[in-house]
Amino acid sequence: MQAAPVFLDTAATIEKACGLIAEAARGGASLVAFPEAFVPGYPYWNWTMSPVQGSPWFERLYRASIDVPGPEVDELRAAARAAGCHVVIGVNERDPRSIGTLYNSVLFIDDEGELLGVHRKLVPTWAEKLTWTGGDGSSLRVYDTSVGRLGGLACGENTNTLARFSLLAQGETVHVANYIALPVAPADYDMVEAIKVRAAAHSFEGKIFSVVACSAITPEIVEAVAHDGESRALLERPHAAFSGIFGPDGRLLTEPLIDDEGIVYADIDVAKCIQPKQMHDITGHYNRFDIFQLHVNQEPQRRLVVHESGDPAPLPADL
C-alpha cells in the first residue's frame, strides 16, 4: 500500500486505512502492508525546522498518536477481520506510562482480527531521534500465519544486518519493510534506489519474499510543514517513495509504484523459498554457527525495578 495519511488527523487516517484494507481485500489480497508511521503521519518538520521550531509540532503529533491497545487499534482489527486479511501497519504509539514519549511502532494483525504483536523501531534514524525513543528486542518476532512466517522492520532498520538476520533465523518467509517517503534526504541520496537495494538484499540473502510499503507525500503535507521556499523545494523533490514486492531471487515480482498513491498486488508461494535454500541457506547449512552466533536479548526492558523488603523494620525501643 503506497498511501499518504490524512496528516495528523487520526480518525480520518484510521478511516482511510480501513477503507484501503477493504479495497485490497476486494482485489484479492490476504496480506495488506501499510507504510511506516502511517497513523497519523511522519514528523517531516524534524528535517525542515530547528528543534525549537518543531517542538509545537511534536506536541501535535503526540496528541494525535495512539495507545496500543486502544480504540484505533480495535478499528483496524475489526477491518482486518471483516476483510479476512492480515494487516501490517505503522503507527505512532504513545508510551503507556511516560507522557511525551513516543515509539515508531508496527502492528501485526491477523485475518481474524487478533493483534499478533507490536514491533517498536529499535533505533530512530538521524533526525527522527527528536521524536521517537527506541524499542527493545522483545518485539523482534516472527509470527506463524496462513500467508507464511511473517516478520517486519521499519524503514532504516532494514539496513541493520543483525536485525534482519534475527528475523530470518526465526524462520521468516514473508518480510514487510515499511518506509516513509524521504524527499528531504541529501541531494545525492536516492530513496527509491536505497529501498530497492535493501529489499532485494534481504530477499536474496534470506530466500524469502519482501513486501515494501512506502508512504506518499501529498500537497496537504507540504503545505502543513513547509515554512519557507527551501523547505518546500525539499518536500516536493520527486523519486522519494517506492513500493513493490520482491521474490526469493531478489527480483521484483511487480511493477513498482514510485511517488504516487496506489496498491501493488502480487501472488506469492512460500514453497518458492525451498529450492534457492539449497544454494544459500544462511540460517542453516550455508553458515558456520561454531564460528558465528547472534545473541538477541528479547527480555522486555524495565525502567523501574522495585525491591520490597517485606515487613517494615521494628522501631527502636527508645522511640
Active site residues: 36, 121, 155
Q: What DSSP character marks residue 254?
A: S
Dihedrals φ, ψ of 291, to 5°? Answer: -105, -45
> What burial class does residue 210 get, using C-beta atoms within 10 Å of its C-beta: 0-12 exposed, 13-18 middle, 19+ buried?
buried
**Three-state DSSP class for residue 125:** coil
- For helices 191-206 and 161-168, what crossing angle results, to 10°? 40
List, in sequence order, every residue forming a beta bridge with 31; answer none if it has no partner: 86
Q: Which residues contact 92 (CB under 8 A, 6 or more apart)?
A: 37, 39, 40, 41, 61, 64, 65, 66, 102, 103, 104, 105, 132
Find where cell 539449497 sits: 278
What's the rounded Cα separation, in Å, for the pair 253 and 131?
35
What does the alpha-carbon distance between residue 60 and residue 65 come to, in Å, rounded to a whole number?
9
Give the residue among 205, 225, 218 at the shortest CA–CA distance from 43: 225
Q: Are the CB atoms for 140 and 166 separated by under 8 Å? A: yes
